[in-house]
Every structure is written in C-alpha cells, then in structure tokens.
C-alpha cells in the first residue's frame, strides 16, 4: 500500500449507474461503468468515482453543465474528511483495491456512516478515499 494522507472532500454531485445487486461488488463495477460511459457524449475531462451503497456498486461521474437532459440517476457523494491511499497503475493492480479498502475500513478512526469512494483520477492513478471521523 502506498503512503496515505487525510484530505477534506467537498460534496460531489454525481450521475450514477447502479451495478447488479446480488453479485460481488468487484463483479458489478465493470458493467456499471460500461453502461454509464455509453450514455455520455464524451469521457474527456470527466471525473469518475465508484462507491458501494447498501451492497450496490455505483459507477459515478461528477455532474457538469449540459448533463441536465441525461436520464441517469443523480446523487451526491458525501463530503468530509477522508483518508486517501493512491494505487498507481491500478488497471494492472485491480487485486489491490479490495484489500486496500478492507485495511482502511478496519482502522479505528474510520467513519462507518459514509461509504468508501474510489476516485479514478486517471488511467494510471486510483485514489481510495475512506471516511474518517
């Protein structure tokens, strides 16, 4: 695991596509992102996130002007303090995501009232954001 830091995240209004409930979370994510991306006219410059709410994976994209006409569910990623861990070259290291989330969730300063957020900063960097009190 890479070095972690504490950050303050502002609430992020997002559009999201849910995964298929009942499947393991890691299996829900790829199909949910495929369905989300298919509805966007361009992916360039967009900020993508993933999170789990009540066992359902949500593939998210930050809302931008012009998204009003899209028939996609809306929600807001909760703001607050988060412990951030970066995973470099995440596409080649998907196997690190689950253990990193589990490690962060097991820390004593964790806030179980908010979900862990995956922030896909680029094709080379994934940031895992775990809520802290």
Which CATH number belongs to the domain containing residue 35 in this structure? Answer: 3.20.80.10
Tokens of 108: 């004593």
Q: Residue 123: its pLDDT value, please?
A: 84
**Separation of alpha carbons 6 and 83, rounded Å:** 4
Q: Residue 26: its pLDDT value, please?
A: 78
Q: Has this prediction a pTM greater than 0.95? A: no
Q: Residue 2: its pLDDT value, please?
A: 55
The Cβ of residue 100 has, within 10 Å, a number of other Cβ atoms equal to 22
Q: Residue 1: its pLDDT value, please?
A: 45
Q: Residue 4: its pLDDT value, please?
A: 86
Strands 48-53 and 73-77: unpaired
**Separation of alpha carbons 87 and 121, rounded Å:** 10
Label residue 57 exposed, middle or buried (CB < 10 Å: 0-12, 13-18, 19+): buried
Q: What total of structural domains would you count in the chain?
A: 1
Residue 109 near residue 132, CB atoms below 8 Å: yes
Q: Give per-10-residue mean pLDDT for the chain (133 aa).
A: 83 96 84 95 94 92 93 96 95 91 93 95 94 95
Q: Residue 3: its pLDDT value, please?
A: 72
- The answer for residues whose C-beta is within 8 angstroms of residue 127's C-beta and 6 or more apart is 84, 85, 86, 87, 118, 119, 121
Q: Which domain holds residue 102?
A: 4-131
């Amino acid at each position: 695991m890479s070095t972690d830091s504490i950050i303050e995240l502002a609430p992020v209004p997002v559009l999201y596509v849910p995964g298929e409930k009942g499947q393991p979370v890691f299996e829900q994510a790829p199909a949910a992102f495929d369905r989300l991306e298919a509805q966007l006219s361009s992916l360039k410059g967009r900020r993508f996130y993933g999170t789990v709410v009540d066992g359902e994976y949500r593939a998210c994209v930050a809302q931008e002007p012009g998204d009003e006409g899209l028939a996609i569910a809306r929600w807001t990623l909760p703001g607050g303090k988060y412990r951030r861990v970066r995973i470099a070259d995440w596409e080649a290291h998907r196997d690190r995501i689950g253990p990193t989330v589990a490690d962060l969730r097991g820390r004593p300063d964790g806030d179980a009232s908010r979900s862990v957020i995956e922030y896909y900063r680029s094709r080379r960097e994934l940031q895992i954001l775990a809520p802290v009190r």
